[in-house]
Amino acid sequence: MARCVRLGAFLLGWGLACAAGAGPEERPPRAAVVSAHPLASAAGEELLRAGGNAFDAAVAVSATLAVVEPYASGLGGGGFWLLHRAADGRQVMLDGRETAPAAARPELFHAADGTPSPELSRDGGTAVAVPGVPAALLYLAKHYGRLPLARSLAPAVRHARAGFPVTPRYRRLVQYRLELLRADPAAAGIFLEQGEIPPAGHLIVQEELAATLERLGAEGRAGFYAGEVARRLVRAVRAAGGVWELKDLDDYRVVERAPVVFEYQGVRVISAPPPSSGGVVLAETLKILERFSLPGSGPARVHLVVEAMRRAYRDRAWWLGDPDFTKIPMQRLLSGAHSARLARDISLSEATPSTKLPAPKRIPEPESADTTHFSILDEAGNRVAATLSINLPFGAGLMAAGTGVLLNDEMDDFAFGFRDPNAYGLVGGQSNVVAGGRRPLSSMTPTFLETPERIALLGTPGGSRIISMVLLAILDFTAGAEPQSWVTLPRYHHQYLPDILQFELGALPAGEQRALRAMGHQLQEKKRRYGNMQAILWDRLGNRVAAASDPRGEGEARIFSVGPCQPAPVH
């Protein structure tokens, strides 16, 4: 705690000094923008060079990703923006998660025979929750940015009109949702070429999306949540079997939430609170691990990390959901007594079957998916780590004609019972059941790490595996590694149910796999590598900024200087 107070004092003091000193620097020597797409990273740099701060740049990057990564996030989706304002040290998470329409209820997702039907929460009108991204961009610009919203949206508008070139990743993700896109004339007209996957280099032009972005910039809330755009959105969702009303859009609000904050081995971790499960699962896992002496590598390390994950993900399934609807025992879950209890039955030599932890079993296979993360640090020290989503690639595969807005299928993140996992194999109960106005539980985990010397900003897409990826990066940061290592690290994962230790292609050497099997772990090597982490390190002692984009993706890290000693943000 004492350190946090001291750190706060450093941050508050930055305005007084800009020259290099002997201790940890109070302002970064350079700015950094790292995102999953080069055009979005460039948009962030453009805004910082135009006099914007990290929050204006975050609006520009979010909006540009909505254009150039239509499979990952967009105006029709939601997200979490973790913010640090240098002027006063304020740290907050902007919750722009989608909400269920008022008429939503579990039976909406049942087939005629009364059994849950996964398609109903993944494809078409019932899958679509009310989007939060447009409201969040408005809020960011108004309360944290320095520039008008329309200025920050300008790069996105430009790219929507001029078009962006199809990449191998785009082709792979279209393939995954091809039938769905073919079935929707508005979406097919833009994202396909005569009903087929467009060739690499083909330009995707989105005139209508450009107009919707301009409308949002000019009219604010009324440009999306009311009027012509809102009417078209509701019409499209209802025509596809959904239950939206205009009032659902009118009712949508972003929420500022206090992040989950805890210490792990001298590192202050600031991460996403409910309705994301990220911060709580990270805190529980790391608090369990702190009770063991964790080897630096080898099967004994993987075993311990997996046993900790298993227990934390079980609590996720049992307790977590939208905090405005379900009572989450946060204090207890984050307490030392709870982690001591969870750690007590971990054997150093044997896997605990998840079924031995009280709860039912099921072994589904998580599917491929998409979502996006970006991180921004400006030279005043403002920070944004944001993870945004429309859930599965191309969301519900539904575009509201005339708006260019591709709609999410985030309703699948609600729990359909312990026997019916969602697309990521996640199970859950009452704490995350569908209800009108409620936000589905997320795994998106934008995170800051702080020591007096080093500050990190990171996050990644990857469904249920987001949290374990961020966890492995935190362990790597704690061991002193750099962003290139955090984003490149081989990854492994356990989420309680299914009771499987998954790992990336090639992540665990054969000997390690044998040792883990001998301990009773059921192993599964994935066919692909997964994740798309975007990370920044500000080394305050070394007075340098480093950033890295996951080699598994097509992203880009930019580090640059706009000029020293910029004036403080006005808000």
- Active site residues per annotation: 371
128 binds ligand DON per the rule CB under 6 A: no
Nearest Cα to Cα of residue 221 among 126, 281, 298, 149: 149
Which of 391, 403, 431, 468 binds ligand DON (CB under 6 A)? It is: 391
Question: From the CB of 409, what's the least distance to ligand DON, in Å?
Answer: 9
| Distance between CA atoms of residues 417 and 415, nearest Å | 6
555 binds ligand DON per the rule CB under 6 A: no
Do the beta carbons of residue 161 and residue 59 sit within 8 Å? no
Using the rule CB under 6 A, give the single segment among 187-195, 207-215, 455-463, 475-483 that binds ligand DON. Answer: 455-463
381 versus 462: smaller Cβ distance to ligand DON: 462
Question: From the CB of 448, what's the least distance to ligand DON, in Å?
Answer: 19
Structure tokens belonging to residue 189? 């007209």
42 versus 489: smaller Cβ distance to ligand DON: 489
Question: From the CB of 268, what's the least distance to ligand DON, in Å?
Answer: 24
Span between the terminal Cα atoms of the chain, in Å: 27
462 binds ligand DON per the rule CB under 6 A: yes
| Distance between CA atoms of residues 415 and 437, nearest Å | 15
Question: From the CB of 553, what's the least distance to ligand DON, in Å?
Answer: 11
463 binds ligand DON per the rule CB under 6 A: yes
371 binds ligand DON per the rule CB under 6 A: yes
Question: From the CB of 276, what's the least distance to ligand DON, in Å?
Answer: 7
Question: From the CB of 426, what's the least distance to ligand DON, in Å?
Answer: 8
| Distance between CA atoms of residues 523 and 516, nearest Å | 8
Question: From the CB of 364, what's the least distance to ligand DON, in Å?
Answer: 16
123 binds ligand DON per the rule CB under 6 A: no
The residues pairing with 454 across neighbouring beta strands, listed in sequence order, are: 539
91 versus 371: smaller Cβ distance to ligand DON: 371
Which of 370, 379, 512, 539 binds ligand DON (CB under 6 A)? It is: 370
| Distance between CA atoms of residues 287 and 265, nearest Å | 9
Nearest Cα to Cα of residue 39 among 275, 355, 501, 372: 372
79 binds ligand DON per the rule CB under 6 A: no
323 versus 542: smaller Cβ distance to ligand DON: 323
Structure tokens belonging to residue 100? 């269920």
Using the rule CB under 6 A, give the single segment among 142-150, 331-339, 357-365, 438-446 that binds ligand DON. Answer: 438-446
Using the rule CB under 6 A, give the single segment among 165-173, 283-291, 459-467, 545-553 that binds ligand DON. Answer: 459-467
Question: From the CB of 151, what's the least distance to ligand DON, in Å?
Answer: 29
Which of 442, 451, 502, 534 binds ligand DON (CB under 6 A)? It is: 442
Using the rule CB under 6 A, give the single segment among 254-262, 314-322, 366-374, 533-541 that binds ligand DON. Answer: 366-374
Question: From the CB of 443, what's the least distance to ligand DON, in Å?
Answer: 4
| Distance between CA atoms of residues 10 and 31, nearest Å | 18
* DSSP per position, 464-489: GGHHHHHHHHHHHHHTT--HHHHHHS
| Distance between CA atoms of residues 209 and 68, nearest Å | 11
Measured N-to-C along each axis, helices 54-68 and 133-143 cross at an angle, to the nearest 10 degrees, of 160
409 versus 539: smaller Cβ distance to ligand DON: 409
Question: From the CB of 462, what's the least distance to ligand DON, in Å?
Answer: 5
How many residues bind ligand DON (CB under 6 A)? The answer is: 14
Using the rule CB under 6 A, give the single segment among 213-221, 359-367, 462-470, 549-557 that binds ligand DON. Answer: 462-470
369 binds ligand DON per the rule CB under 6 A: yes
389 binds ligand DON per the rule CB under 6 A: yes
User: 186-209 as b/e, with b when 16 or more CB fall inside 10 Å?
Assistant: bbbebbbeeeebbeeeeebebebb
| Distance between CA atoms of residues 564 and 383, nearest Å | 17
10 versus 325: smaller Cβ distance to ligand DON: 325
| Distance between CA atoms of residues 487 and 469, nearest Å | 9
Which of 62, 375, 443, 447 binds ligand DON (CB under 6 A)? It is: 443
Count CB atoms within 10 A of the CB of residue 265: 13
346 versus 384: smaller Cβ distance to ligand DON: 384
173 binds ligand DON per the rule CB under 6 A: no
Using the rule CB under 6 A, give the single segment among 186-194, 254-262, 266-274, 458-466 that binds ligand DON. Answer: 458-466
φ, ψ of residue 395 in degrees (nearest 5): 55, -130
> CA torsion, points 24, 25, 28, 29, in degrees to nearest 10?
-120
As to burial, measured by CB atoms within 10 angstroms (0-12 exposed, 13-18 middle, 19+ buried), residue 364 is middle
Q: Residues in the chain, how many?
A: 571
134 versus 463: smaller Cβ distance to ligand DON: 463
Using the rule CB under 6 A, give the single segment among 55-63, 153-161, 296-304, 457-465 that binds ligand DON. Answer: 457-465
306 versus 320: smaller Cβ distance to ligand DON: 320
Which of 461, 483, 498, 569 binds ligand DON (CB under 6 A)? It is: 461
Which of 59, 141, 466, 507 binds ligand DON (CB under 6 A)? It is: 466
Nearest Cα to Cα of residue 459 among 388, 395, 367: 388
Footprint (CB under 6 A) of ligand DON, residues 25-44 = none
Do the beta carbons of residue 560 and residue 78 sit within 8 Å? no
User: What's the per-residue H, E or C state across 209-273?
Assistant: HHHHHHHHHHHHHHHCCCHHHHHHHHHHHHHCCCCCCHHHHHHCCCEEECCEEEEECCEEEEECC
| 445 Cβ contact partners less than 8 Å away, ≥ 6 residues apart | 271, 272, 276, 278, 279, 282, 387, 459, 460, 466, 467, 470
Measured N-to-C along each axis, helices 336-344 and 299-319 cross at an angle, to the nearest 10 degrees, of 120
444 binds ligand DON per the rule CB under 6 A: yes
| Distance between CA atoms of residues 20 and 302, nearest Å | 41
413 binds ligand DON per the rule CB under 6 A: yes
Q: What residues make contact with ligand DON under the rule CB under 6 A?
A: 369-371, 389, 391, 410, 413, 442-444, 461-463, 466
